[in-house]
Structure 1
């Protein structure tokens, strides 16, 4: 996972987000003295190599009116999680979904899926749909609702 000086400049130029303009890659290219094609190729390569995970919007759900943001946690049969986890992740209202180890006896949950609702009823409907997808393969479950927005940034490379 080697990066050269140009990769480093590109990471530093984009790590707080792409410019909010009509052509963000063009703006970054101009800032760094590169072509748009080179910027996009370098970002694609770094993503493919695992240097960067993804390029995506990070919305502020509260500002968009989603006040009921809940991390649903599920105790899913270990023999079924590889089959069921992707089905939950594909649901259009699940923003992220992942498997984590249990920490018994206090924490029996091994599947996590984030939902967002404008009302508590919206969020509860989403939880019910996830429950239907998981069916009989679920032991216990819970929903951990957010009470405030936490840091939504990754690692920052200094200059």
Structure 2
């Protein structure tokens, strides 16, 4: 993090608990730190390019939205097809995140992960069936890891 200066660290501290919940969060940060909105946006963009900030996005609490049934589906698919299959699965409206993970043979043959959310167990089961249908013969095995509680998600914390 040697490419960061004190202003970058101030922006990180101001946003480490999340962006302000206002219609214009970058304006609120700029006002709080005595910077211009353009400065805040440009510095955050640069921190993303440096890999200090991985991404900026909303992190909904699915439980509060009524989606109390959640499952991380894990799939064993051919490695040479994983990118195309992952894009198809990740584009489904009920999949919140989808990614490629390494296998850990012989115990863990799964390489495609997709998190699904539903208002009922039946919703989740139906979604899993839809993914299985899309994968078709490329589904070489699957499992589901169901959520039993919500974990607090936090980002980077600076001192």
TM-score range, shorter chain: over 0.9
Q: Deviations over 1:61-103 (max 9, x none)?
A: 1111101111000011112112211211121221111111111
Partners of 1:53 and 1:132 in 2: CA distance: 33
Runs of 4+ in 1 over 3 A off after TM superposition: none
Give ranges in structure 2 of 5+ residues lacking alignment.
none
Q: Which runs of 5+ in 1 are unaligned?
A: none
Q: Which residue of 2 aligns with 1:130?
A: 131
Structure 1 partner of 2:22: 21
Output aligned runs, 1:1-159, within 5 Å.
2-158=3-159
- The alignment's C-alpha RMSD in Å is 1.3
- In 2, Cα distance between equivalents of 1:87 and 1:49: 29
The 3-state SS of whatever aligns with 1:9 is helix
Q: How many residues align?
A: 158
SS for the counterpart of 1:108 is coil
Q: When the two structures are superposed, what TM-score results if normalisation uses the length of structure 1?
A: 0.93
Secondary structure in 1 matching 2:48 = helix
The SS at the match of 1:8 is helix
